[in-house]
Chains A and B, each alone.
Chain A
């Protein structure tokens, strides 16, 4: 008991100096879904336990020093609707920053992140989740950057016109020619290329195309848990050369093999009874609850996440790993990592496994900050040498067609 308590105290102390940069938090979408962005009805300045994974007190308790807030919009939105919804997501983050200015610091650069850490505020960055947010327009990509978006996940759950998703059928076979152009324009703008959610083919194509470090804002190791949302070893092994960072996620159905298998069986059960596995109607949910009563849902823990980090450290190296919890973007979380207050439990587990303080400081803080700083340097260089691209997908991908 006392050894565990000591480790937790040690973890908290470590996080006070090197707080967590978390790669992905879906609070903006949760605020849209729950209260239509009415911040009076869902005040993260107050305790939101039970309603949200995230509020300011728990971020603080969790030792979070920087957060990439996801400005996610679902793939069912297309064209202008996806862009408008993304602008609304960006806007709500800005409203949060204005409203909680004492706790949240707007951050556009690595220097801003360091400054926020010095002030004891939580550096707040924005990340877009899915290339559908730019609707095949590089001008829109630049507009998102101007509005403060600092990474874009190339796809979400569905393919888009120029990149394949991990959870869709193969489309263009990775990145199309226009997709490579998107990557280069992101490099030029200074927006990190995020390879979570994308197919392994897309990961490899993007690593070939990019001039700047990539990130995985919330993905874990395929070798530890065989789920398409995770990163294969050959890709992890390319991160040292690229300078990027893979930020391990906490989503149980991606990281715990038993949970992957359980989810597959639960989906199969629904399909056997004639429902789609994403069906949330009362009938389908009733069936699903009955299944869950007979088959208890497997529980992930901080040790599950640590297993991934141990492997990712082996494959990618200590300089290329980080943390991306996906809080408020997943219904279930591991025991001990139930909400954003949980990070110290993960750090305590890693201390237990013999991780040193300097290694943990890289994991929590330094690696992610460095990746952004390097991307800024690449952007400055590219801007001094190249003009913004106005390529269109029709022109580029037609030329490339066999």
Chain B
């Protein structure tokens, strides 16, 4: 893979015997758009935020199989008054959707299953995040969601329950999603969690540089929303890359699905991002964060469950 992305693909490295053949003109170097396309063709994006359509008429299935996506987090967000039942309904609906599209989607509970889905040519469906309000302040509910396949829970307010809940999430292997949390909540959560956090709908503009630095130390992934203005998104990503590190960038979703991710990736190439960092942006960073969460859980499971 990396060879394909190296800066100057060229045939001239093969020495031709002088005089025997006309050395062909080396092809022109690929332009950034072509290279971005090549990256995305081989490195499908893990999208942090996918929303279930309001109605699930099989006749009217949404374009679930986005061209450039390899895995998608399906948001289980509910309003505060919908609670546990609303969340269980959404889990059930995503499962029904995946069951209705076996050629396109496959439910994945682990990073291994994500890779397996991709190897089978399916888009991996990851359940989560669930809304913090849907936990009802109960660690048992957290464990029930985990048992039902949920991979992440959104923490937006660091209350008394949150400290124990974050530790329990570390123990059972649920990622903490800090999308929408203020910087105070982010700081307090990072002081507790031992696993990398996710921001499936990150808005890094809201955080000062030192918070981005803390996220970098944690190994967090800031998954940013891609718009039809690649330069503006690249500015945001450049800042996250500078302050948190290249291992902290990721993609939430695109508001311009017709265009996709190629213009952004081309823009980043023009700005000198090495290909390997684009692979991280596309999927490797979030996969690494999820895998670390799984590893930590396996070593933590010997501890008793939290009350």
Contacts and interface: CB of A to CB of B under 8 A. Distances in A.
Interface stretch (A51-59, A90-98, A227-235): A90-98
Contact of B91 (A83, A91, A95, A143): A143
Contact of A38 (B56, B88, B93, B307): B307
Between A37, A90, A146, A390, the greatest number of chain B beta carbons within 10 A of the residue's beta carbon is seen for A146
A263 interface: no
A80 interface: yes
A91 B141 CA distance: 8
Given A88-B140, A90-B144, A147-B144, A140 B85 contact: yes
A137 interface: yes
A142 interface: yes
A139 B89 contact: yes
A382 B287 CA distance: 37
Contact of B140 (A80, A92, A99, A142): A92
B307 A137 contact: no
A143 B88 contact: yes
A91 B146 CA distance: 11
Nearest to A142: B92
B96 A137 contact: no
B144 A140 contact: no
Interface in A79-133: 79-80, 83-84, 87-88, 90-92, 94-95, 98-99
A103 B151 CA distance: 30
A388 interface: yes
A48 B144 CA distance: 28
A353 interface: no
Contacts, number: 69
Given A36-B307, A147-B147, A87 B85 contact: no
Contact of B88 (A37, A91, A137): A137
A213 B36 CA distance: 59
B83 interface: yes
B96 A388 contact: yes
B138 interface: yes
B8 to A, nearest CB: 53
A87 B304 CA distance: 18
A269 B246 CA distance: 77
Interface in A31-75: 36-38
Contact of B84 (A83, A90, A91): A83
B92 A91 contact: no
Contacts of B89: 137, 139-140
B41 interface: no
A167 interface: no
Interface of A: 36-38, 79-80, 83-84, 87-88, 90-92, 94-95, 98-99, 135, 137, 139-140, 142-143, 146-147, 387-388, 390
26 contacts: A36-B307, A79-B85, A80-B84, A80-B85, A83-B84, A83-B85, A84-B83, A87-B138, A88-B141, A91-B139, A91-B143, A91-B305, A94-B143, A94-B147, A95-B304, A137-B88, A139-B85, A139-B91, A139-B92, A142-B92, A143-B88, A143-B91, A146-B148, A147-B144, A147-B147, A388-B96
Given A84-B138, A90-B144, A140-B88, 16 more contacts: A36-B307, A80-B84, A84-B84, A87-B84, A88-B140, A90-B140, A91-B143, A135-B85, A139-B85, A139-B91, A140-B85, A143-B88, A143-B144, A147-B148, A388-B92, A390-B96
